[in-house]
């Protein structure tokens, strides 16, 4: 059965607008990856910023839903990044400067020929009193002076009300916002005011009062300060797991702009995520939200390539975001994918769902894995191969295993437990195993010279887990791993036909699953080794066995 190809749509009576957003509100996303995201402790290179900026452009779709992206403008690298991203020629996201409310930062933004500049205006008593030593009147005078200077320099200000959820909203923030709106009318510029929930204290709940209630906060600025909803943005932190909910609550209350960073990267617990808000927009307004979520597959790969650690269960981007483990889920998935997948992640996000096998996967899970990985269609749950694999899996967990089985391990086991095929002789299967392991055998061959030169120590893992069992060549017999000179050495070498270049066979040695290799070397010597998949196979390298027929 087919899966729904897209995200589920909001259910509304036929003929009515399906959008849940306020009528006419021009919803958009402001990216903060290159400002807030770099405050998470990771500095991106110029090339990385260009790559991510291009992906943000594509994610925003033809309407530029990802409308702007903030950049620092302090260092030479900051300036190179701005120039390189501009060179792509994208209309969106618009490149904006982030600045402190100082003349020096304004001049730096103008030097970079920025059109818009974000001005930090700390509005809580904690910041004004303890960080700057200002009274309310002094703070307001300072902020308005810098705002006037930005306008005089030809810059469009974006006023960031830092720590607004601990501020005196009626007594300080609303009067300041009114004066900013006066200047917006006088200059003919759309001056943005951003509501910054700096400590993640805001609440999305109906009835929550100022300064914490998101809806109350938005309504105060719209109704009391006269700020148009199109000129309001919300920037929420995730200290209490509420960044996404608070940001969406701001949208629903009439705040057009949502500030976020990729993966929610940011100070402390981070912020709302750009990708999460893009998906949310599609859910809230499916008829108008033309965002390209298919970019998210590329985005996840790009972030991982840059060394950004993506939690396995990170929504939308994580390696296990669309993974299925439990036998009950996998049984439903086999019968109808939409049972446990709200949409097809391959079509919508460019991400493929995964089957992960543990002792909780049962017969349905093993059968589903064999169907997908080994190309065996419609395997019965009582198939002998399913039973054999399930027995080995159960035994491993009884002996204390905790981690899931990798695809490489299961492929090796599937070959061992593979039922006889009337279409393929034993020799044909043997040849197929040799072909499938050519890469691994070449690796063993490539490691031979370094191994000859390096002293071998008992129990020492060498070359990402290559354990030498036995080798005879022109240098004599040498080397012994922790398995020692065991019968497996002789048995493995005995299975190497005369003149054959080599063979790779799945083996179980003292409870450890791995691949055993036997090779005939160019000088007539022969080598036997084991590559222990469970313990030492590095994630970034292809796993031998994944190409088995």
- pTM assigned to the model: 0.74
CB hemisphere CA count around 30 (13 angstroms) = 34
pLDDT in tens, the chain (549 residues): 445 556 655 444 444 457 889 988 999 999 999 999 999 888 999 999 999 999 999 999 999 999 999 999 989 999 999 999 999 999 999 999 998 878 888 999 999 999 999 999 999 999 999 999 999 999 999 999 999 999 999 999 999 999 999 999 999 999 999 999 999 999 999 999 999 999 999 999 999 999 999 999 999 999 999 999 999 999 999 999 999 999 999 999 999 999 999 999 999 999 999 999 999 999 999 888 899 999 999 999 999 999 999 999 999 999 889 999 999 999 998 888 889 998 888 888 888 889 999 999 999 999 999 888 777 778 899 888 888 889 888 988 998 888 898 877 777 677 555 544 434 333 343 344 444 444 444 444 443 343 333 333 333 222 223 333 333 333 333 233 323 333 444 454 455 444 444 444 444 443 333 444 444 444 444 444 444 332 222 223 333 332 222
In whole angstroms, what is the distance from residue 225 CA to residue 232 CA? 11
3-state secondary structure of 245: helix
Give the residue extent of every domain in the chain.
28-306, 323-417, 428-437+465-475+484-537
In whole angstroms, what is the distance from residue 122 CA to residue 139 CA? 8
With residue 515 as reference, give the H or E element that holds it: strand 512-520
The CA–CA distances, whole Å, from 436 to 66, 187, 414, 442 equal: 45, 70, 14, 12
pLDDT of residue 417: 53
- Report which of 332, 330, 271, 276 is spatially closest to residue 299, judged by C-alpha positions: 276
3-state secondary structure of 393: helix
Q: Are 197 and 239 in contact (CB under 8 A)?
A: no
Locate tokens 């399906």: which residue? 18
In whole angstroms, what is the distance from residue 65 CA to residue 290 CA? 8
The CA–CA distances, whole Å, from 72 to 34, 97, 105, 151, 255 equal: 7, 6, 10, 19, 25
Q: Tell me the fold of 28-306.
A: TIM Barrel (3.20.20)
In whole angstroms, what is the distance from residue 493 CA to residue 473 CA? 13
Using DSSP bridges, classify how beta strands 232-236 and 354-355 pair: parallel, antiparallel or unpaired.
Answer: unpaired
In whole angstroms, what is the distance from residue 195 CA to residue 173 CA? 10
The CA–CA distances, whole Å, from 106 to 115, 163, 355 equal: 11, 22, 53
- Report which of 456, 440, 405 is spatially closest to residue 516, judged by C-alpha positions: 440
In whole angstroms, what is the distance from residue 87 CA to residue 83 CA? 6
The string of DSSP letters for 336-385 reads: -GGGT-SS-HHHHHS---EE-BSTTSHHHHHHHHHHHHS--TT--TT-HH
pLDDT of residue 438: 44
């Amino acid at each position: 059965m087919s899966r729904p190809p897209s995200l589920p749509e909001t259910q509304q009576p036929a003929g009515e607008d399906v959008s849940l957003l306020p009528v006419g509100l021009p919803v958009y996303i402001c990216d903060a990856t290159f400002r807030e995201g770099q405050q998470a402790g990771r500095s991106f290179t110029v090339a990385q910023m260009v790559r991510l900026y291009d992906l943000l452009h594509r994610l925003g779709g033809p309407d530029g839903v990802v409308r702007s992206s903030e950049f620092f403008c302090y260092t030479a690298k900051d300036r190179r990044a701005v120039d390189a991203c501009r060179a792509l020629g994208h209309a969106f996201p618009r490149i904006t400067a982030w600045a402190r409310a100082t003349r020096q930062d304004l001049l730096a933004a103008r030097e970079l020929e920025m059109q818009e500049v974000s001005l930090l205006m700390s509005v809580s008593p904690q910041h004004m009193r303890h960080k700057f030593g200002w009274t309310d009147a002094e703070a307001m005078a300072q902020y308005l002076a810098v705002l006037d200077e930005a306008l005089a320099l030809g810059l469009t200000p974006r006023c960031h009300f830092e720590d607004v959820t601990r501020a005196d909203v009626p007594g300080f923030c609303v009067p300041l916002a009114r004066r900013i709106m006066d200047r917006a009318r006088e200059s003919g510029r759309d001056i943005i005011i951003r509501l910054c929930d700096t400590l993640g204290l805001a609440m999305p709940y109906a009835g929550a009062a100022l300064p914490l209630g998101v809806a109350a906060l938005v309504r105060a600025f719209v109704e009391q300060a006269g700020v148009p909803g199109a000129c309001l943005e919300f920037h929420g932190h995730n200290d209490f797991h509420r960044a996404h909910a608070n940001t969406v609550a701001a949208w629903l209350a009439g705040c057009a702009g949502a500030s976020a960073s990729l993966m929610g990267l940011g100070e402390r617990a981070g912020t709302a995520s750009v990708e999460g808000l893009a998906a949310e927009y599609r859910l809230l307004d499916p008829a108008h939200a033309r965002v390209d979520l298919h970019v998210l597959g590329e985005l996840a790969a790009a972030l991982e390539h840059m060394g950004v650690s993506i939690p396995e269960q990170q929504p939308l981007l994580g390696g296990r975001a669309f993974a299925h483990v439990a036998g009950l889920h996998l049984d439903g998935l086999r019968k109808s994918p939409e049972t446990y997948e709200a949409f097809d992640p391959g079509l919508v996000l460019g991400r493929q769902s995964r089957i992960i096998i543990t002792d909780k996967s049962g017969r349905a899970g093993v059968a589903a894995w064999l169907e997908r990985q080994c190309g065996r269609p419609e395997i019965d749950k009582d198939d002998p191969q399913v039973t054999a694999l399930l027995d080995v899996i159960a035994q491993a967990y009884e002996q204390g295993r905790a981690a899931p089985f990798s695809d490489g391990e299961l492929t090796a086991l599937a070959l061992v437990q593979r039922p006889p095929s009337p279409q393929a002789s034993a020799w044909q299967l043997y040849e197929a195993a040799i072909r499938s392991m050519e890469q691994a055998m070449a690796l063993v061959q490539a490691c031979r010279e370094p191994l000859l030169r390096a002293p071998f120590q008992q129990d020492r893992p060498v070359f990402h887990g290559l354990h030498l069992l036995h080798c005879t060549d022109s240098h004599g017999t040498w080397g012994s791993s922790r398995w020692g000179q065991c019968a497996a050495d002789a048995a493995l070498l005995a299975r190497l036909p005369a003149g054959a270049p080599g063979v790779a066979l799945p083996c179980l040695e003292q409870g450890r699953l791995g691949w055993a290799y036997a090779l005939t070397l160019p000088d007539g010597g022969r080598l036997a080794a084991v590559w222990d998949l469970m313990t030492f196979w590095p994630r970034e390298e292809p796993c031998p066995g994944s190409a088995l027929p």
